[in-house]
Amino acid sequence: MRRKTTQAPVTVRGRVEAVFYAGPRFSAGRLVTPSGEEIQFAGRLFVREHEQVVLRGRWITHPKYGRQFDVEAMEYDLELDTDGLAHYLANHPEIKGIGPVKARLIAERFGRNFDRVLIEQPETVAEAARLPLAAVERLRDEWRKTREVNRAITWLAAFGLTHHQVTSLVKKLGNNVLGLLKADPYLIVREVRGFGFKRVDKIARKMGTPKEHGTRIRAGLLHCVEESLNDGDCWVEYEELVDRANTLLVMDVLDSRERIEKSLDALIEDGSLSCTSWGGRFLVAKPEIRRMEEDLAATLANGKRANPHFDGEDDLQSLISHIAPQLNEGQRAAVLTVLKNSISLISGGAGSGKTFTISAVTDIFEEHDLRVVLAAPTGKAAKRLEQVVGHSASTIHRLLGFNGKTYVRGPEDPIDADVIIIDEVSMVDIPLAWHLFRTIDLERTAVVLVGDHNQLPPVGPGNLLRDLTQSRAVPMVLLDTVVRQAGVLKENSIAVLGGEIRKTSDPEDSGRRAWYVVDQFTDQSDAQRFLLELFENVLDERLSFHLRDDVQVLTPTHKGPLGTRALNAELQRLIQKKLWSVEAPVPKPGRRPKFLVHDKVIQTRNNYELGVMNGAMGKVTRIGRDGSMTIEFDGVPVDIESGSPNLQDLQLAYALTIHKAQGSEFPCAIVVVHKAHSFMHHRNLLYTGVTRARKTAVIIGDRWGMQNCARKRRQDERKTFLSLLLAHPPVEPSRASADSVEL
């Protein structure tokens, strides 16, 4: 850790002679001053060799690197002497065609007048240096850009943007960046990742932007629509949107609603938002989301067309009996539906035999020399599908040829398959479903969607599985019989859907139990202490679970003693010390824990640049002295630079929200169910949590909280266009058996 002095900030200027490390938010190197003094520097800046800079900061003594200049701010140095100007012109990476000789000639000829002459009389510089006018005009553009960056850095200092972010803004918005940002500071929300409306608004208001400014109202409306998407809704009613914006913006004018409506109408008029009338309501949405749902509805309308490969088959029942004789009645009905239809849906709870049914479908298609493709939304779900079915599987992103920025596959390059089977459909949001179906040629390829309608909806917008289940838009079969070999864990999980939490189960031959219920902790702190005691003395020593690799804590929320933030900090300290004898530093109040080697982490956003998707879990394998990291995701190492915004997308993963763990399975899942979280509780949440366990589920909390959670039914009110577009009189799905249990 650096030891800072109490001296006042100082300024140094010079040329960057060497760069030891350079990232978007941190650089370290050596500066040579005009007097020849060499200065080691490091801090929040982004520089390249040969750049002339002005650094502001303080001298510190680093315990490892000694005396160095701790940079707090920087700008490019445009007040150059003859030598400095010559060096700048000859070595700037963006200035082409000016070597050392011509650079020296320009510097000596124009000196301190260079800035004025270059801007006002570029032809004079071209003539003196014997350069084409076009080359000097390019030099002038780069010089202007550098000057504009300096001005932007000064003005944007209040927003906390890094030098790299400022230069990126200049590159995107041009040399008039400062004028554009002063006119509309909310451009930062759109152009800089990590800067949301509320953060920018707080600073813009301090800098004098009026509450009723048009750009503020516009940004506030777009923020409200974005929040709806984050909540899973694909549209918001016009009047409700105006109400939300009015609450957010708190304008001190009597006609605030009228001003908001005027801005909203303008956003609809220019195509930034769309508005459609449905049943007497006006529904506002992002145009691309609405178009995706309309496209999906049109595609799914073809679901009842005949399966292109078995349309002429006379006796499908005999075919199924021959290839898959072990199927029960419900599973047989599901396979028959798949063989008859172009698009089909199989839904069922834990232990109902969905994966066994997928295996039967795979066998039948392969027996007929047809190409089968299996996929799932996450890497873990795909790996589990592959292991159980015995056929290769991939993530949907990989299947679509996602290259980090765009999807390679599309209508012109459809997926090469005779049948595509998608598992864990409850996790598929609207954008991913749209990309998937537009790459499928339904003239050749049958589609089988498989999911558990009892699980939580996707993290992203929409609820495809719910909309298909309720509308019966495509042929579907509901598997509602728990197969006898499902085991105690699956049976007890299914019981949750009936409002029942069964008691701790009997010991198995291994000495473990499949189901533990510990419900005496009315105080959150007592429940937390018990959970930590399990990690300290029980899970490894008595149950033989690896504390990091086998055990996953699941909780409904991030906040409080039983939320992910507090539990991750406590579990990091405990596990690091117990397994690797590492003392994890206590995080400062309001700050998240520092990552350490061996930590379990999770990606919280699709990162197309790194090729790591939302929900991917990994292990930290290296941390460099500059703060850079290497994380292993599914055996693939991923490097992240120090100060990179990509680090903000990582969180410790010893404890996760139940929602975040969808699609994953763990040998042991510890599920927190406490009355402190009762406002979030419903039986589908608890069901999703306990079904993440492959061998053992441990439920910790209080008796009332658990009973209340199991009693409450989920009211899924996600607003989607698909639910409206697919709406029609319900058609009864094929049932599993006469004596089956309804889920």
Average pLDDT over residues 291-307: 93
Q: Which amino acid is at 179?
A: G
Q: How far apart are CA 513 and CA 231, in angstroms?
A: 37
How buried is 438 (Cβ within 10 angstroms: 0-12 exposed, 13-18 middle, 19+ buried)?
middle
**One-character DSSP codes across 184-221:** -TTHHHHHSTT--HHHHHHHHHHTT--TT-HHHHHHHH
Which amino acid belongs to residue 391? H
2 pLDDT tier (thresholds 50, 70, 90)? very low
Q: For 368-477, where are the alpha helices, taking DSSP H only?
A: 379-389, 396-399, 430-437, 464-471
pLDDT of residue 378: 84
Phi, psi of 488 (to 5 degrees): -60, -40
Residues 6+ apart with CB under 8 A from 266: 218
3-class state of residue 58 by DSSP: strand
pLDDT at position 585 over 50:
yes
Least confident of 21-30, 370-379, 532-541: 21-30
Q: Is the pLDDT of residue 337 over 60?
A: yes
Q: Are 136 and 125 in contact (CB under 8 A)?
A: yes
Is pLDDT of 283 > 50? yes
> Residue 477, SS3?
strand
Instruction: Check residue 94 and give its pLDDT.
Output: 64
Q: Using alpha carbons only, how large is the chain's radius of gyration in Å?
A: 31
Count of beta carbons in the 10 Å neighbourhood of residue 661: 27
Q: Say how far apart CA 414 and CA 439 lie, in whole Å.
A: 5
Residues in the chain: 743
What are the tokens at 290?
């609405």
pLDDT of residue 151: 64
* CA dist., res. 286 & res. 152, Å (int): 31
Give the residue with greater pLDDT, 85 vs 557.
557
Contact assessment for residue 60 and residue 70, using Cβ atoms and an 8 Å cutoff? yes
Mean pLDDT comparison of 60-64, 120-124, 376-380, 473-477, highest-scoring range: 473-477
At 175 the pLDDT is 54
Is the CATH number of domain 184-285 3.60.130.10? no
Residue 607: DSSP 8-state: B
Query: CA separation (Å) from 174 to 181, 200, 215, 252, 583?
Result: 11, 21, 20, 35, 48
| Better-predicted residue by pLDDT, 76 or 326 | 326
Percent of the chain at pLDDT > 70 equals: 90
Q: What is the mean pLDDT of residues 218-226?
A: 95
Q: What is the spatial distance between Cα 160 and Cα 162, in angstroms, rounded to a whole number?
A: 6
Per-residue pLDDT averaged across 439-445, rounded?
95
Q: What mean pLDDT comes out for the span 688-710?
A: 95
> What is the pLDDT at residue 6?
47
For 708-731, what is the mean pLDDT? 81
Could you give the 3-state DSSP secondary structure of residue 389? helix
**pLDDT bracket for residue 729 (50, 70, 90):** very low
Q: Is the pLDDT of residue 233 over 60?
A: yes
- Comparing CA positions, the residue from 72, 41, 38 lying closest to residue 57 is 72
Q: For the residues 732-737, what does the mean pLDDT come to? A: 38
Model confidence pLDDT, tens digit, residues 173-203? 765 566 677 778 888 887 777 678 888 888 7
Q: Say what the pLDDT of residue 634 is.
A: 80
Is the pLDDT at 670 greater than 90? The verdict is yes
pLDDT in tens, 8-48: 678 898 888 888 876 656 788 999 998 889 999 988 777 77
Q: Is the pLDDT of residue 664 over 90?
A: no
Structure tokens at 699: 């439920």
* Residue 500: CA count within 13 A, CB half-sphere: 10
- Inform me whether the pLDDT recorded for 732 exceeds 60: no
Q: Per residue in 106-161, pLDDT tens?
A: 888 887 788 778 888 889 988 888 888 888 888 888 777 777 665 666 566 566 66
Q: Determine phi and psi for 219, rounding to 5 degrees.
A: -65, -40
More confident residue, 141 or 452: 452
- CATH code of the region 488-711: 3.40.50.300
Q: Identify the band that residue 1 occupies on the pLDDT scale cut at 50, 70 and 90.
A: very low
- List Cα–Cα distances, 457 to 10, 60, 205, 722, in angstroms: 55, 52, 37, 14
* C-alpha to C-alpha distance for 281 and 283, rounded to whole angstroms: 6
SS3 content of the chain, % helix, strand, coil (to 5): 40, 20, 40
Domain boundaries, the chain: 10-76, 82-157, 184-285, 305-479, 488-711
d(Cα 709, Cα 695) in Å, to the nearest integer? 23
Each residue of 304-315: pLDDT tens digit? Answer: 899 999 987 778
Using pLDDT thresholds of 50, 70 and 90, give the confidence band for residue 736: very low
Residue 4: the pLDDT is 44
Confirm whether 305-479 and 488-711 share one CATH topology: yes
The answer to whether 73 touches 157, Cβ cutoff 8 Å, is yes
Indicate the pLDDT class of residue 662, thresholds 50, 70 and 90: confident
The CATH architecture that domain 305-479 belongs to is 3-Layer(aba) Sandwich (3.40)
Residue % of the chain over a pLDDT of 90: 54
CATH class as words, domain 10-76: mainly beta
Report how far residue 556's alpha carbon sits from residue 568's, in angstroms, rounded to the nearest whole number.
14
Closest residue by Cα to residue 633 from 649, 652, 617, 613: 617
> What is the per-residue pLDDT for 434?
97
What three-state secondary structure class fits 353?
coil
Read off the tokens for 574. 């405990």
Residue 446: partners with Cβ closer than 8 Å, 6 or more residues away: 307, 308, 309, 338, 341, 342, 343, 344, 418, 419, 420
Helix or strand or coil: residue 318? helix
